[in-house]
């Protein structure tokens, strides 16, 4: 009788399990089809939806991966602006990549934008199997204000926000140097840091928000890319940052684009091979 009762109980439990809705059962993540996936929400902060576009290469994977962060002076731009010239070269080279939105100033002040980049890194790692990502081979790439953000996050990265490589294009690594260069705060820094004048408080906030303040030994490898005719963010930003990084024993390469002004979209006019050099550096660094 006891044996019969056990059989009935086991049968009933099995039928109950089969009757559960699909969501109640643990399942492997759905692998995304090759190609571009747009407007995927990776976070919702203060009622604002933050989205990304993702590219998945053909093949089994996992693939080396790039997280792309657009520029726009911290106050404008989105995941499809400014940094778009990198989409096709990365796709053709077999990289998975994600281009992200982040909260903009003045609605959201520093460090909201850096927080959003860190959130995107965590999201990509959490969804690595779904998008065929190798979480140990993730590079952060950003241009202009986005270059500042990837350097800041790359230097602070630990645990689930640590990445394997960082590539800032024409980035303002030292915001105090940037203010001195232009002899004013400008709309971008004023909006980002909620400043109105260059007083003692402003200089301190500029220092706190500068990636160069946080250089320590043992960072991920960096590749700096900068045009030598940039009058928005001077080349001296990258040369000074490289010297500081190398003084700490870190790998920090510098690619100078001859004739390049601010913005990679204009570099076709100077026949630069920066895209090919970027791909070679990434493959070597992320191998």
Average pLDDT, the chain: 92
- At 272, the pLDDT band (50, 70, 90 cuts) reads very high
Pick the CATH number of 32-285 from 3.40.50.1260, 3.60.20.10, 3.40.50.20, 3.40.50.1820: 3.40.50.1820
Kindly list the domain boundaries of the chain, sorted by start residue: 32-285
Structure tokens at 87: 């989409």
Digit-coded pLDDT (tens) for 176-221: 999 999 999 999 999 999 999 999 999 999 999 999 999 999 999 9
Average of per-residue pLDDT across 12-34:
56
Whether 93 has a pLDDT exceeding 60, the answer reads: yes
**For residue 16, what pLDDT band results from cuts at 50, 70 and 90?**
very low
The rounded distance, in Å, linking the Cα atoms of 212 and 240 is 9
């Amino acid at each position: 009788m006891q044996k019969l009762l056990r059989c009935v109980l086991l049968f009933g439990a099995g039928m109950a399990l089969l009757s559960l809705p699909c969501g109640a059962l643990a399942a492997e993540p759905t692998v995304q089809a090759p190609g571009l996936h747009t407007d995927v929400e990776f976070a919702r902060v203060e009622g604002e939806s933050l989205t990304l576009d993702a590219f998945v290469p053909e093949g089994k994977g996992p693939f080396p991966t790039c997280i792309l962060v657009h520029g726009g002076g911290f106050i404008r731009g989105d995941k499809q602006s400014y940094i778009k010239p990198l989409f096709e070269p990365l796709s053709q080279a077999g990289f998975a990549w994600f281009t992200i939105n982040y909260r903009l100033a003045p609605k959201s002040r520093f460090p909201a934008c850096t927080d959003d980049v860190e959130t995107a890194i965590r999201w990509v790692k959490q969804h690595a199997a779904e998008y065929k990502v190798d979480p140990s081979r993730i590079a952060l790439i950003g241009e202009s204000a986005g270059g500042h953000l990837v350097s800041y996050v790359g230097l602070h990265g630990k645990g689930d926000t640590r990445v394997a490589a960082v590539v800032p294009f024409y980035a303002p690594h030292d915001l105090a140097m940037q203010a001195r260069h232009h002899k004013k705060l400008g709309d971008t820094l004023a909006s980002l840091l909620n400043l109105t004048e260059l007083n003692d408080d402003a200089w301190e906030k500029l220092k706190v928000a500068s990636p160069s303040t946080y250089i320590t030994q043992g960072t991920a490898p960096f590749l700096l890319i900068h045009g030598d005719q940039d009058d928005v963010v001077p080349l001296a930003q990258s040369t000074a940052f490289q010297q500081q990084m190398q003084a700490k024993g870190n790998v920090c390469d510098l690619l100078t684009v001859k004739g390049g002004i601010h913005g990679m979209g204009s570099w076709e006019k100077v026949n630069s091979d920066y895209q090919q050099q970027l791909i070679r550096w990434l493959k070597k660094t992320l191998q």
